[in-house]
Amino acid sequence: MTEPTVRILFVCMGNICRSPAAEAVFIQRLEDAGIAERFQIDSAGTGGWHAGDEADPRSRAEGDRRGYRLDTPARQIEAADFDRFDLLICMDVENAAVLIDRGAPDDKVRLLLEWHPEEHLQEVPDPYYGGEDGFSHMYDLIEAGCDGLLAALESKR
């Protein structure tokens, strides 16, 4: 097996809604393109209170509807991740700031929606305290961001 050339960690607060969805979407995009072996993809949260838990049932349900597998247990980001991954892609500004405060290199910390076609968008809103429609909107944003990210990475090859 070849060593992955790009290592990406998707990050949100608790690692049960947004970042596991982004992980699942991006993995599916890579598999569909036949290039998954060139990547290592994972997700983590800045907080550890959900460590070991499954993704939020609402996120899993919307993921299932769209054909994604959210099967990675939640985990908290650790300092070793700052070296282990090439990109630390956050769902929002607050979690990006937390990573930088904890010592993550500025040049590795990015926001997923930097790759969204609508340039005015910056953050994937946390749907945890809202209704089902928040999860649908979350996936719409994540899918578009992941598509743009993949296109950007492939254009550099």
- Catalytic residue numbers read 12, 18, 126
Closest CA to 29 of 19, 17, 41, 18: 41
**Burial readout 16-26 (b: 16 or more C-beta within 10 A, e: otherwise):** bbbbbbbbbbb
Residue 138: CB atoms within 10 A of its CB come to: 25
Q: Beta strands 6-12 and 109-111: pairing type? A: unpaired
User: Do 112 and 89 contact (CB within 8 A), yes or no?
Assistant: yes
Helix (H, G, I), strand (E, B) or coil at 147: helix
Rounded Cα distance, 27 and 69, in Å: 9
